Amino acid sequence: MTVHFPFQNTYAALPEGFFARVAPTPVAAPRLVKLNRPLAARLGLDPDMLESPEGVEILAGKRVPNGADPIAMAYAGHQFGYFVPQLGDGRAILLGEVVDLDGVRRDIQLKGSGPTPFSRQGDGRAALGPVLREYIVSEAMAALGIPTTRSLAATITGESVMRETALPGAVLTRVASSHIRVGTFQYFASRGDTEGIKRLADHVISRHYPHLADAEHPYHALLEGVIARQADLVARWLLVGFIHGVMNTDNTSVSGETIDYGPCAFLDHYDPAAVFSSIDEQGRYAYANQPRIALWNLTRLAECLLSLFSDDKDQAVDQAQAILGDFPGKFTDAYQSGLRQKLGLFSRRDGDEALAQDFLDAMAKAKADFTLTFRRLSDAAEDASRDNNVRQLFADPLTYDEWAARWRQRMGDEAQTPAERASAMRAVNPAYIPRNHRIEAVIQAAVGRDDFAPFEELLTVLSKPYEEQPPFADYAAPPEPDQRVLRTFCGT
């Protein structure tokens, strides 16, 4: 049985300064934890072949498939505001690219596959816990309808990795529309490599923004395109209560996908200042700071592109600033549109922004659960007798009552029936998110007992986040006080 990957390798065809050629380090005894069979089929791959012994060896990095041209990509990045001129894939190796059934080119990358020239004294390996976390959260994000990298497979290597203690080693097979980052542009800009920037920009336009190739000013249009996608992406994050945790420029994809799930988390109770990442001591990447940081990262991208805008530096800066000035409006439009949908409003009216903000402020004051409150509000939109299920989430129920009176008056301006409104709200207000305490329970079972049943069950629940699933109703509940996870970790 031969596993066939119809690889193409357009990034590996770029000049060698863009990457280092390096093969995965073979592992001792690979074992498949999970294959994403529907995703494999969408990629044009045979799931049965991937589950064969040869397929598992490929997914774990023990065997390099025919047609692969494995590379570690070079990039730089601002990490918590401090620039590092060389980062690169320190524990990830890009095997190659496939074109999926939709005609979209996808990278297939092994994460945790051994050291590379960019490892910076690291072992290049990954522990099982972070691999499961990324698998769970990335697939949950996909089910929520948010642009994201995907997880094709998780494998155990049969070897231990040393962190604070010895942990089971694992490899994540990750799929992305590409792994090109803002930090990739910074790598060449920091070296004064104008030709490298141009080659990279042309590659990105060809791969992600082909409609811009014939634009009058394609590099200006490229910046506009990346800004538009990032504005929409971060708005979507906020609308489901997601906190990325490490929004460094090397974790900002130019394709507009969520990438690099490290100390990420979803809000339980609503708190704009929420931080879960153990390394974000100053709250730089707090929930409500994410739009501001996205613009900061995009400004770094604009700086890299200045040489392509104009030979006159002052003119190039003015042009870049004008384009960057579109971000706040694009983000606000996407975010406010999303909030109206979450509140069941079908049209845009004066006062809607204040109505939504007042509700969020009340939720913050009451420490009401973000996901549960909006989901119950969906039920209340259909039947006012269900208001009590929302009221009980507020320490002072009168706060909700006063707001709900304004909300119902506003809904009365529209023609939709209560059932139509509730249905539309349930389509954007999930019942199930990957709550931190559930993820930690999955990891503990897998690492401590080699028990992956909780992992499988959580994936099943999260695959249909907007549907009521009575057998799994407990998964919609917030954590009890003793279950709360207050800190998440990078897992590197």
Catalytic residues: 250
Strands 150-162 and 82-84 turn out to be: unpaired
The amino acid at residue 366 is A
Structure tokens at 41: 């089929």
**Strand, coil or helix: 116:** coil
Number of H helices, E strands in the chain: 17, 12
Q: List alpha helices for 209-257, DSSP H.
A: 218-240
What does the DSSP assignment read for 175-195? Answer: EES---BHHHHHHHHTTT-HH
- Terminal alpha carbon distance of the chain: 35
What Cα–Cα distance (Å) separates residue 352 from each residue in 217, 341, 378? 37, 11, 17
CA distance 282 to 77: 19
CA distance 102 to 28: 36
What Cα–Cα distance (Å) separates residue 140 from each residue in 43, 64, 383, 448, 461? 19, 29, 29, 24, 9
Backbone dihedral angles phi then psi of residue 172, each to the nearest 5 degrees = -105, 130
CB atoms within 10 A of CB 85: 12
What Cα–Cα distance (Å) separates residue 479 from each residue in 92, 141, 449? 34, 20, 22
DSSP summary character for residue 463: T
**Strand, coil or helix: 127:** strand
The amino acid at residue 25 is T
C-alpha angle 313/224/337, rounded to 5°? Answer: 140
